[in-house]
Amino acid sequence: MRIGISCYPTVGGSGAVATELGKALAKRGHEVHFIVTDVPFRLGTFVEHVYIHQMDTVTYPVLRTPPYDFSLAALMAKVIDEHQLDVLHAHYALPFAVCAHLAQEMAHHPAKVVTTLHGTDVTVLAQDTSLKQVIKLGIERSDAVTAVSESLIGQTRELFETNKPIRCVYNFIDPDVFQPQCGQSVRKSLARPGERVLLHISNFRPVKRIQDVIDVFARVQTQVAARLVMVGEGPEYNEARNQVERLRLGDKVDFLGRQDEVAPLVAAADLLLLPSSKESFGLVALEAMACQIPVIGTFAGGIPEVVLHGQTGFLSPIGDVEEMAAHAVRLLTDGALYRRFAEASRRRAVEHFHIADKVAEYEQLYREVCSQ
Ligand code: GMT
């Protein structure tokens, strides 16, 4: 098949999933066209059958803001026609599904639009009533819609009052990339012997509750020799650094900033902290589980569909830092429990979220929409 993919190219789960999906489809012989503002961060080196179409933004003194979305829609239409795309896969309703719909109207060749909802469009942007109608249009005009968790499907139905069929296709990992051994060399530079490593990776948005990450760690380190490794950057970054200073934890917390290749860091940790207030899936939790790293998180959104409470991690109500810290200490001080959780984590990741299975699910969906 000839498949177009549009996604946010920057660091983030949706970009990672879209890019890994595209690479995997190309390896299975499909022709994959990324239609993007920048080269996706996970693309890496040359992959046969993958083509990049990068958008030029029009700027002109009369235009106070560049007409980004129209340029993207025009590029999508051009690629649909020039490469006779069968499917255009939009990762996020806003702006990609809406642009794809415009592109369908402009193009001569009849490509189908598949939209994957990743969360922020539904759980955050749709709270703005002016955007809500646009997002709803993007969803309802798609030829097929998927969401990354059952929880997100439920929220979408409720919020948009739509009966549009939405299929759950969970996010996935490549278990050969996210595997326990890949962190061995990094571990030495993260912690001294005898110290345990707690890890947080995110874009430091308010929904990630960075303050809770640090509050949990502050409690854990009073009972277990431990370090906190913070990966990523975003709006809460400076406040996080201030909080660490205020709590006098500067010598136990490392801020590594943005990192594009996270597998070795994840595998080098002992626990992943994900205390989010909103999380449609929590890709980083799955990546940790694949590396045999249990997760301390919340019951928010789709997290319980990924992390099995009491088997591959412990989940708590949002904001309950006392309970999260107690769970972390319990796992770090009970070797047999930790090993059981670590093994169950890897098993669950490989059995339920294997890249090969999810790519096959998307392929099947593409075939279905093309035969409609
Ligand atoms: O978590 C973020 O803020 C980034 C965002 C993204 O665009 O990558 O993540 C969303 O999509 C990921 C991939 O499907 C999910 O794993 C994240 O849970 C989801 N984030 C939220 O729902 C807040």
Q: What tokens does 49 get?
A: 């059958």
**Digit-coded pLDDT (tens) for 201-214:** 999 999 999 999 99
Closest CA to 281 of 266, 299, 313, 303: 303
Q: Which residues, other chains included, contact 355 with Cβ-Cβ below 8 Å and sequence gap of 6+?
A: 20, 24, 172, 173, 174, 175
Q: Does 149 share its domain with 226?
A: no
53: helix, strand or coil? strand
Looking at the structure, tell me whether residues 161 and 186 fall in a common domain: no
Per-residue pLDDT reduced to its tens digit, 50-90: 999 998 877 777 878 888 899 999 999 999 999 999 999 99
Distance CA 7, CA 274 (A): 24
> How confident is residue 156, by pLDDT bands cut at 50, 70 and 90?
very high
CA angle centred on 15, ends 135 and 8, rounded to 5°: 50
Residue by residue, DSSP assigns 98-145 as HHHHHHHHH-SS--EEEEEE-SHHHHTGGGSHHHHHHHHHHHHTSSEE
Euclidean distance between CA atoms 66 and 149, whole angstroms = 34
**148 and 198 fall within a common domain:** no
Does the beta carbon of 283 sit less than 6 angstroms from any atom of ligand 1? yes
Residue 81: closest CA among 103, 107, 56: 107
Q: Is 34 in the pocket of ligand 1 (CB under 6 A)?
A: no
What are 3-44's pLDDT values in tens digits?
A: 999 999 887 899 999 999 999 999 999 999 999 988 888 888
User: What secondary structure letter does DSSP report for 93?
Assistant: I
Per the listing, tokens 């490593």 go with 197
Model confidence at 137, pLDDT cuts 50, 70, 90, reads: very high
pLDDT for residue 124 is more than 90: no
Please compute the mean of the pLDDT values over residues 179-207 and round it to a whole number: 95
Residue 140: pLDDT over 90: yes
Q: Cβ distance 8 to 14 under 8 Å?
A: yes
Residue 280, ligand 1, Cβ within 6 A = yes
pLDDT of 4: 98
Q: How far is the CA of 60 from the centre of ligand 1 (A)?
A: 33
Residue 219 has pLDDT above 90, yes or no: yes
Q: What per-residue confidence (pLDDT) applies to 113?
A: 98
Q: What is the pLDDT of residue 287?
A: 98
State the Cα–Cα distance between residues 346 and 312, nearest whole angstrom: 9
- pLDDT at 323 exceeding the cut of 90: yes
Res 101: pLDDT? 97
What's the rounded mean pLDDT across residues 254-271? 96
Residue 141 CB–ligand 1 contact under 6 Å: no
| Contact 146 CB / ligand 1 (< 6 Å) | no
Whole-number pLDDT of residue 44: 82
Q: Which amino acid residue places its CA nearest to atom 20 of ligand 1?
A: 279
- Same structural domain, 213 and 283: yes
Taking the mean position of all CA atoms in its chain, how far away is CA 12? Answer: 5
User: What is the rounded average pLDDT for all residues in the chain?
Assistant: 95
Note whether 345 and 328 are same-domain residues.
yes
Domain shared by 153 and 259, yes or no: no
Instruction: Please check whether residues 119 and 57 belong to one and the same domain.
Output: yes
pLDDT of residue 342: 98
14 lines ligand 1 (CB under 6 A): yes
Mean pLDDT of 181-199: 94
Q: Are residues 108 and 216 in the same domain?
A: no
12 lines ligand 1 (CB under 6 A): yes
Q: How far is the CA of 111 from the centre of ligand 1 (A)?
A: 27
Contacts of 314 (CB under 8 A, 6+ apart): 294, 295, 296, 297, 324, 327, 328, 330, 331
204 with 236: CB under 8 angstroms?
A: yes
Whether residue 236 is found in the same domain as residue 296: yes
C-alpha span between 281 and 301 (Å, rounded): 7
Q: Which domain holds residue 294?
A: 180-352
The pTM of this model reads 0.96
Q: Is residue 14 located within the same domain as residue 89?
A: yes
Reported as half-sphere exposure (CB side, CA atoms, 13 A), residue 137 has a value of: 13
Structure-token pair, residue 351: 């059995």
Q: Which atom of ligand 1 is nearest to the CA of 286?
A: 16
Q: Give me the mean pLDDT over the 266-286 stretch.
A: 98
Q: Are residues 244 and 141 in the same domain?
A: no
Q: Which residues of 238-274 are buried (b: 16+ CB within 10 A; e: fewer)?
A: eebeebbeeeebeebbbeeeeeeebbbbbbbbbbbbb
Give the rounded percent of residues in the chain with a pLDDT score beyond 90: 87
Mean pLDDT of 141-146: 98
Q: What is the count of structural domains for the chain?
A: 2
The stretch 259-285 carries a mean pLDDT of 97
Distances in Å between the alpha carbon of 125 and those of 1, 36, 232, 360?
Answer: 33, 21, 22, 30
| Bridging pattern class, strands 196-201 and 271-274 | parallel
Atom of ligand 1 nearest to the CA of 281: 18
* CA separation for the pair 208, 319 (Å, rounded): 11
CATH code at 314? Answer: 3.40.50.2000
Do residues 342 and 358 both lie within one domain? no
179 has a pLDDT exceeding 90: yes
Residue 311 beta carbon below 6 angstroms from any ligand 1 atom: no
Percent of the chain with pLDDT over 70: 99
Find, among 136, 113, 110, the residue nearest to 35 by Cα: 113
Residue 95 preceded by cis peptide, ω within 30: yes
Instruction: Please give the radius of gyration of the chain, using alpha carbons only, rounded to the nearest integer.
Output: 21
Q: Sheet with 87-91: list strands edge to edge.
A: 50-54, 31-36, 2-6, 87-91, 112-117, 144-147, 166-168
